[in-house]
Amino acid sequence: MSVDESDPIAMMHYADRLIYEAQESGSEELKADIGSKALHYYISAARSGVPEAARKAAVHLWEAGQRRGAKKLLREAAQEGDLAATKILAEWLWAEDYPAVRSTSQSLEIAKREEEPEDEEGDDSDDEDVEMGHGLTPQNNIDRVTKVSKARRQAFHLWCLAADRFGDLTSMRKVAECYANGEGVGIVDMDKSIAYWERAASKDDRTAMAALARYYHQRSHETFKRRGKGPIMNSISAPHEDVALNEDGDGTAMVKLLRYTWMAASDGDIFCLRHLASAHQHGYHGAQKDVPAALQLYMAAAAQGDISARAAAADILYHGDDGVAPDRVGAFALYTQAAKEGLVPSYKALADCYRTGQGAPDDKCNLELAYMYYSEAAQQGCTTSLRMLGDLHWNGDGCVKDRAKAAEFYEQAAAAGDLEAERCLARCYWLGHGTVRDREKAKEIWREMARNCDSLGDEERRRLEIMDDEAFEELMEYC
């Protein structure tokens, strides 16, 4: 079969056919011979201005281990304005595998110390020596780390080119990720990262919208913490985030948060499904309070494996809420599934069901199982479960009655900040049950609890500070 060598497109298609025949032949020798011939036609077509041929030639060389030649072809095509070549080269440079490189963070440290001007065109002069991985020394390793850093900076600049010149969405996302992680640029710059995410989102890119939704949620968390309010409870957003976002400026952040969360949730993004559900459950971030809609969104996220959403749906069903009737059997099933997947609050929720009988099989208490689930939750850091184990041992419910053991659990829970456990521990010391009788220690524990209790006013705290034994006796009897 002959080919018109004056027609670059014909040469490229002829090379395609040769590659196909080489793959079908099964002969390695024939593959090498035909592959060499195909490469000749690809390069000829590329030299005649066919970018696709340059890309195919580069891929052929790369697969043959000739990386330097492959990257050279792609650079030439990229310089001619070929977007696809620019993106392929960036991906190759970013994923360049140099042996003995320890970590990206090490790469970035080396990059920061480099003083020579950056080589935008790339330097592949010793690619083959590097790829061999022989003669490893500390200096060789530094050289390899330096090469990774340089390759990633080159990849970053190529993505910037593709994003800024061609408006390529994938490249916008890559640049945003680089600025967010500090990779390829040497420093984290969230303002620039968000600017690129915003550009991609303005082109209706749902991946960018999901990233922005996460950013604005995180920003609301951090703003709230900076105001000294402490960490937000659990993974589901709380209504007070609205305050953080409203005070952050003119409310634009809240509008963006709701918009991006809604758009990404409509595409099934689990994080956004869960947070949109939370917004509808509580009626914040500009969302109308709609508990049935929230339940539906939680269940959609749960169907994709989100255990926090599953537990949130269980909470709504267990307690009931506006427009949702209690369904404790359904809640119990969801808690059971979430517990099997390792969610600690669900162990505690199951223990509550078995302790009270509400939602448990046949609505019957099973204190032994309650003790088992509280123990599991306590082992994984649930402070309330430590206190509940103390209560069970105090009364001998589902376990041996052992007030010394109860006092131990109360002390552990109190040390972890459980105010109710502090009250129980004070009672132990006051009565001498499970501990030595020490009324001064009991009073000090109670006063410390009062200092940490936000619901008590200054006057109530002062009364506790001067309360005598008789008054404390009445207080203990009341409790």
Q: What is the CATH number of the domain that holds 476?
A: 1.25.40.10
In a domain? residue 353: no
Q: With CA atoms as reference, report the closest residue to 410 among 423, 400, 397, 399.
A: 423
Asked if 157 and 197 sit in the same domain, the reply is yes
Q: What residue numbers bound the domain in which 451 lies?
A: 382-479
Q: With CA atoms as reference, report the closest residue to 294 among 282, 285, 306.
A: 282
Asked if 97 and 27 sit in the same domain, the reply is no
Asked if 58 and 170 sit in the same domain, the reply is no
Asked if 89 and 174 sit in the same domain, the reply is yes
Domain tally for the chain?
3
In a domain? residue 7: yes
> Of 56, 80, 104, which marks where a domain is finished?
80
Asked if 391 and 478 sit in the same domain, the reply is yes
Distance (Å, whole) CA 103 – CA 97:
12
In a domain? residue 171: yes
In a domain? residue 366: no
Which residues, including other chains, have CB under 8 Å from residue 220's CB and lie 6 or more apart?
Answer: 237, 241, 244, 245, 248, 253, 257
Asked if 462 and 425 sit in the same domain, the reply is yes
Asked if 53 and 97 sit in the same domain, the reply is no
Asked if 96 and 159 sit in the same domain, the reply is yes
Asked if 463 and 410 sit in the same domain, the reply is yes
DSSP 336-382: HHHHHTT-HHHHHHHHHHHHH-SSSGGG---HHHHHHHHHHHHHTT-
Q: 């088992």: which residue's tokens?
A: 372
pLDDT at 477: 61
Distance (Å, whole) CA 461 – CA 451:
7
In a domain? residue 244: no
Asked if 65 and 152 sit in the same domain, the reply is no
- pTM check: above 0.85: no
In a domain? residue 273: no
Asked if 87 and 64 sit in the same domain, the reply is no
In a domain? residue 72: yes
SS3 27: coil
Distance (Å, whole) CA 85 – CA 461:
72
Instruction: Give 451-459's long-range contacts (Cβ < 8 A, gap of 24+).
Output: 452/417, 452/419, 453/419
Asked if 473 and 410 sit in the same domain, the reply is yes
Q: What is the CATH number of the domain that holds 62?
A: 1.25.40
> Of 59, 80, 101, which marks where a domain is finished?
80
In a domain? residue 120: no
Per-residue pLDDT of the chain (479 residues; tens, 9 = 90+): 577 888 889 999 988 888 888 778 777 777 777 878 888 888 888 888 888 888 888 888 888 888 888 899 898 888 888 899 999 999 999 987 654 433 444 444 544 444 344 444 445 544 444 343 445 455 666 677 788 889 999 999 999 999 999 999 999 999 999 999 999 998 999 999 999 999 999 998 989 999 998 888 887 766 655 554 433 333 344 444 443 444 444 456 677 788 888 888 888 899 999 989 998 998 876 788 999 999 999 999 999 999 999 999 999 999 999 899 999 999 999 999 999 999 999 999 999 999 999 999 999 999 999 999 999 999 999 999 999 999 999 999 999 999 999 999 999 999 998 989 998 999 899 889 999 999 889 888 878 877 766 655 566 666 666 666 776 676 666 55
> Of 175, 203, 231, which marks where a domain is finished?
203
